[in-house]
Structure 1
């Protein structure tokens, strides 16, 4: 196929003015304008002369040519020349051509019968045989395309409505999003379309659930774009959470009703506790497609759809995207789809599309291949992270790629963090603390152990873990629990911000370098509640001061994993013993602990778990 010219118009209208201008044409143009379809219409009288260069250009620069075959269409040489150009553009440039048969039999057009036969009898008297044959061939080709016939509709209003619907569908297909938006979502789209298209005796509601940045909105918008032209009313309400906070629920309700009822002033339809019965009746009669994006409270669904989605009829389909599964469970939606991370191949493709702005064969680029894989591993299947990181490195040198990777090991990317932190900010203080303990200490522990230990600190851990799971901050299996690396890093950044320059003033310590400095220089404070110290990457001796833990009297969880030199010497030493440990300790794990006994002042009443593998302990 030849390269297509740039598109200026959505639709080029080919018509015979004498029998359509004051009828179907005027109504069709008005309908296109109402749907914001950019249409080229030549209202000039077109008799006798050859079509102008500007008209040829208009045809070539249109996405669709809509050919209105009427009784008198073939009598115009101008119309026939237009048709020849349209069919040429269809063949060479892939232009879409849609025939519309208005009060004329398609067989008349296809085989030049009836009024078309009469028109060609005249053309054969005034035009060359070659020209006539070209026109006949064009008519035959156009009439064989999939089109619309007015005799299949009860009236012109229904006919025009179907024409507009068909044109919108074809335009939507033609103006599909950039390929990078489609990486990894073909299967979910197919699954969800099958759910949304099944018959239902009531409104059908589908929930898209997953962590921030996982692609819920992208998936919802693609489905919306594909299906919207099959419905009489459509509305995509973006960022419900944020907009409710900024503008209030009434503002969103007005926007929703205005779009669905196609009314500018919807204030008369809004009641303090909902909408008027007449508004409900109007909505229930329409086939509606509604997307409510980023909902974080079940009340938002009730405010925008009524209790039990009662405002709408059985032909309505609603898609809800949320980070909180509980929202969907409370409202008993029909189907919940968990949006999952991309696989490795999809992740690399999406990263490359953003880092190089094309389908790039990274394997041939040794300078960037290894770095790209490390960055893709860091993003761990999250589309947002892959897009942000890829775009940030577009046009950068290998040295800058290496620098970015090094930076990410120290400081998470701020744009990614801001998206992920929304879910953390939605938690209450109780659940925030549980989340931070998991991110900074219990990352590898199972749910039962976490419950046991945090319950001993006064937390209601079972409901807390469930809330974290529903908000897609953790995943829980029968014998395991997991947190995505980027979410873990977000939690750790929250703690790091408690005291950016002094780790000893943070509530939780996990970074071995930070812990080494805190213990070596005795900088711990009463703020510290947990320490998990893995020395395998610290190739230095550390001698603990006897009062290393003295000021950390709120310390609840302590886990130390020692490391050895090549000669079998432990890198962690306690030459003068430990004077004190926090009486708040619930967990004490210290493998290869050199102590022969715990401090005599230590009160173990709160201790839940003690593990001292390969230690020198002789007595407690």
Structure 2
């Protein structure tokens, strides 16, 4: 069927095809009266003169009717007029999605399908003298209409009850027909296109397809839109909603499955209170029917076993769509066709929010920043955008500001109630892991989290898998764990709902102050996360507070506001917990770490903006350390001996402006992958890095005293060059077989450099204030994939670029206003600022 995204306007609700002498004054008159009582308009053919061929007016009436009802009687096939009507009706079913219903009035459906019995005899008489093609088309049409599930007159004791049932069915079908409810809904067409490709509508076999994603992402909305769009092409349809929680009804497994089957069959046959007595009812009733069934919000395997255990329960062409937050449930049921719903783009999210907040697609003047903040707070989650938009509609700017400030640390109750359902249904140990990710490990690598929690008593591997299956987190192909920001709030609020003595993580400022100042912490405490910008007065930490916290593994002190003046005072004899794995303390207030500090179990040391002059003396047991961030430690003068940090992977010394020397032990960190030294202004020499075969990224910018590039391993992949000339760069790159990305920051770009052969695929030219043009020989870099040019104020022209280039980005180059056209590679993505955009358009001609 060719479907349209814009619903048709139907002139008639119902068209009936019938043999007048059989039913016009009896059955049809009663049906018309019942339709009138139900508010259903029916086409009246009284004024159309009958002839041997179907009249144009009748053909038009069929095409303008939403539903066609074919009343099949013994003499229906005595009329070629009726048979031509049937051909037109089935054509409309295929081409425009018309709903077709069949009523077998005193005739057996099998006689219609096979053209046998008295019905077949009449049909053969009508076919006499007709062409073979005409007879074949009529025969196929009768077979098709005979396969449509319909009302069989002989199955009813009272005709009046059958008529009432038909009227109800027609009303229901009109209510679920393709509507305008989803027309213009942001992003819905993209979802429907992807779903329809998974449904394989052209295949005959029955199929079960899953829609999976976190709460509030729009799974049910997508399923409703699909039901609206596709229902007309199925014999029977059913949207069974809110199945979640049905397994908690108190029934045993058998009783539960019976009840679920009763619900489905009652709804699909529109017969309230249907009773069944065995679990074969669904396959018995639906095995020969083409059905569309939506099972919404499934949360237990028993539900699927009861309602769609096998595809052979349903007729050919049937489609069963299951929405759930639980991917594992789908996989356990053998469902491999799964649509994972993604968040809308930022542009789509803003549009969704504005539709609810302002009843238009863009924010009015003055509300642009507020709308952007609100959208960001919702993390682009459609349900959150709808709720927040509706809540803020009609509010003044001052009210918006107050509400948004309040919601930065808590969810709207309506949003929280929806998102909490998945969290509430996981095991207590998985809830602990959920809390830890929400507070400490969002956007961290799964391997890093497993290391951090190795001795926690949690089954981290299974826990992460469970949270991902339940759509509470996502784990990328690179292993990055991502928890949606609204789910983070669910985790934080769940921690706060716990009894204080049960909390293993502290995040509330007042609770943490009480613990740190009065030494009142729980002995089962795993983590503390304190935002010092929320402290109202200076805090004096007790000297012995951490000594008793032998289970504390994660200590995070951070500052979300740079203008805070509150100070945290540490005593000289303070001790850190003995088994600390994460020490993240921004603006650490003392010149040294505690002298008794033993980092034997430390995995991550993050001391950004610390007042430190020295970390520690001598060597320390650092075999567990993997990440060391000393960014903006302005007073740090020397780096300690890191010889024992044999597993260190990331070392960030950026903006350590008084750091003079990089300890020679860095040259032996064989697992080091990334070394950053941005604006280390006093560093002159870096030890050789030639033996660091794991080193992939080296960033050395703003290091004015450095004159030579250190010896670098040939496995280096990414390099950002400092503003000073690095004399040995050209010679070194000849051996760099894995090199891919290069950033050039403020240094001179020579013809010799650009003409040098290299396998790099990205070049970044940034803040080169004196450069007016890039040499023509750049076109010879045949492996270059990406070229980005930022902030080159005097750059006036671009040369021809290599055909291998896939991405060209030029930003904040105000002198680059006119360009000489050059041929571009097919598919080249271009992002340009302050230049002649019409030149780009001409390249596509």
Give TM-score scaled by structure 2 length. 0.53
Residue by residue over 1:223-254, the C-alpha shift from the partner in whole angstroms, topping out at 9 and shown as x without a partner, is: 01111121122221111112332475232221
Q: Secondary structure at the match of 1:494?
A: helix
1:127 corresponds to which residue? Answer: none
Q: CA deviation at 1:105?
A: 5.3
Aligned to 1:468: 467
Task: Check whether the contact 1:261–1:283 (CA below 8 A) recurs between aligned residues.
Answer: no
Query: Residue 554 in 1 paired to residue 562 in 2?
Result: no
Partner of 1:177: 181
Q: Distance in 2 between matches of 1:612 and 1:217?
A: 45
1:523–1:402 Cα change, 3 Å: farther
Return the offset for 1:391: 1.3
Deviates more, 1:151-160 or 1:432-441: 151-160
Identify which range, 341-350 or 9-18, moves more after superposition: 9-18
2: CA distance, partners of 1:201 / 1:96:
28
Match for residue 43 of structure 1?
A: none
Give the aligned partner of residue 255 of structure 1: 263
Is this contact kept in 1: 2:468–2:475, CA < 8 A? yes
Query: Are the counterparts in 2 of residues 351 and 376 from structure 1 also a CA contact under 8 Å?
Result: yes
- 1:27 shift after superposition: 8.1
Partner of 1:245: 248
- Secondary structure of 2:322's match? strand
Q: CA RMSD in A?
A: 4.7
Q: How many residues were matched structurally? A: 521
Match in the other structure for 1:395: 394
Given the alignment of the two structures, is residue 66 of structure 1 paired with residue 77 of structure 2, yes or no? Answer: no
Structure 1 residues 612 and 14: alpha-carbon distance in aligned structure 2, compared to 1, 3 A threshold: closer
**1:208 matched residue in structure 2:** 211
**Residues 211 and 323, structure 2, Cα contact 8 Å, conserved in 1:** yes
Q: Assess if the C-alpha contact under 8 Å between 2:536 and 2:566 holds in 1.
A: no
| Deviation of the 1:452 alpha carbon | 1.0
Q: Secondary structure at the match of 2:313?
A: coil
Q: Which has the larger radius of gyration?
A: 2
- Report the counterpart of residue 280 of structure 2 in structure 1: 275
- Relative distance call for 1:198 and 1:617 in structure 2 (3 A) is same
Tell me which residue corresponds to 1:480.
Answer: 480
The answer to whether the 8 A contact 1:557-1:587 is kept is yes
Partner of 2:345: 343
Q: Distance in 2 between matches of 1:203 and 1:99?
A: 26
Query: How much does 1:467 deviate?
Result: 0.9
Query: In the alignment, which residue of structure 1 is the partner of 2:498?
Result: 498
- Confirm or deny: 8 A CA contact 1:562 1:571 kept in the other structure: no
Between 1:435-444 and 1:258-267, the stretch displaced more is 258-267
Distance 1:13 1:507, change over 3 A: same
Q: Indicate conservation of the 8 Å contact 1:224/1:291, yes or no.
A: yes
Note if contact 1:507-1:527 (Cα within 8 Å) is conserved in structure 2: yes
> Structure 2 CA distance, aligned partners of 1:233 and 1:207?
20
- Match of residue 39 from structure 2: 38
| Alpha-carbon displacement from aligned partner over 1:498-538 (angstroms, at most 9, x marks no partner) | 25xx7x97432346676456535655443532023454776
Q: How does 1:44-443 map to 2 (within 5 A)?
A: 66-68=43-45, 72=49, 153-154=141-142, 175-177=179-181, 179=183, 182-200=185-203, 202-246=205-249, 249=256, 250-260=258-268, 266-270=274-278, 274-275=279-280, 280-306=283-309, 308-356=310-358, 358-359=359-360, 361-362=362-363, 364-366=364-366, 368-443=367-442
Write out per-residue CA displacement over residues 142-201 of structure 1, whole angstroms, 9 at most, x where no aligned residue: xxxxxxx99984399759989999998887566321657x22111110221233243446
- C-alpha separation between the residues in 1 aligned to 2:395 and 2:593? 56
CA distance change for structure 1 residues 581 and 206 in 2, over 3 Å: closer, same or farther? Answer: same
Correspondence 1:508 to 2:505:
yes
Aligned to 1:588: 583
Rounded Cα–Cα distance in structure 1 between residues aligned with 2:227 and 2:454: 45
Structure 1 residues 329 and 187: CA distance shift in structure 2, 3 A = same
CA deviation profile, 1:82-102 (whole Å, cap 9, x unmatched): x99x99xxxxxxx86899999
Give 1:375 deviation, angstroms: 0.7
Larger mean Cα displacement after TM superposition, 381-390 or 17-26: 17-26
The change in CA–CA distance for 1:196 and 1:427 in structure 2 (over 3 A counts) is same
Give the Cα–Cα distance (whole angstroms) in 2 for the partners of residues 386 and 577 of structure 1: 50
Structure 2: how far apart are the matches of 1:359 and 1:564?
34
Tell me the SS of whatever aligns to 2:334: coil
Aligned to 2:788: none
Candidates 573, 579, 583, aligned match of 1:577: 573
For the 8 Å contact 2:177–2:231, the answer to whether it is kept is no
1-structure distance, mates of 2:388, 2:142: 56
SS in 1 for 2:228: helix
2:571, 2:520 → 1: CA distance? 19
Q: Deviations over 1:62-101 (max 9, x none)?
A: xxx6353786479xxxxx9xx99x99xxxxxxx8689999
- Which is further off, 445-454 or 505-514? 505-514
TM-score (norm 1): 0.70
Report the 3-state secondary structure (helix = DSSP H, G, I; strand = E; otherwise coil) of the residue aligned with 1:66. Answer: coil
How far apart, CA to CA, are the structure 2 residues paired with 1:254 and 1:465? 37
- C-alpha separation in 1, matches of 2:147 and 2:495: 63
- Asked if 1:618 is matched to 2:616, the reply is yes
Deviation at 1:19, TM superposition (A): 8.9
Equivalent residues of 1:593, 1:612 under 8 A apart: no
Q: 1 CA distance for matches of 2:440 and 2:396?
A: 37
Output one character per residue of 1:419-471: Cα deviation in whole Å (capped at 9) or x when no partner.
11111112111211111101011224221110012122122111111111111
Provide the rounded CA distance (Å) in 1 between the counterparts of 2:69 and 2:49: 14
- Please give the alpha-carbon distance, in whole angstroms, between the structure 2 residues aligned to 1:324 and 1:175: 30
Distance (whole Å) between structure 1 residues aligned to residue 607 and residue 353 of structure 2: 45
Give how far 1:12 is off.
Answer: 9.0
Match of 1:319, SS? strand
Listed one character per residue, the Cα deviations across residues 250-273 of structure 1 (whole Å, up to 9, x for unaligned) are 322211123346666653452xxx
Cα separation, partners in 2 of 1:472 and 1:464, compared to 1, 3 Å: same
Q: 1:474 to 1:522 in 2, by over 3 A?
A: same
* Structure-1 separation of matches of 2:425 and 2:495: 17
- Comparing both structures, which one devotes a greater share of its residues to helix? 1
Which whole-Å CA distance do the structure 2 matches of 1:70 and 1:161 have between them? 31
Contact between 1:593 and 1:617, CA under 8 Å: does it hold in 2? no
2:93 maps to none
By relative contact order (CA 8 Å, sep 6+), the higher-ranking structure is 1
Alpha-carbon distance in structure 2 between the residues aligned to 1:334 and 1:377:
33
Q: Distance between the aligned counterparts of 1:480 and 1:11, measured in 2?
A: 56
Q: 1:360 to 1:341 in 2, by over 3 A?
A: closer
Residue segments in structure 2 that go unaligned for 5+ positions in a row = 1-9, 71-75, 86-136, 152-165, 621-845
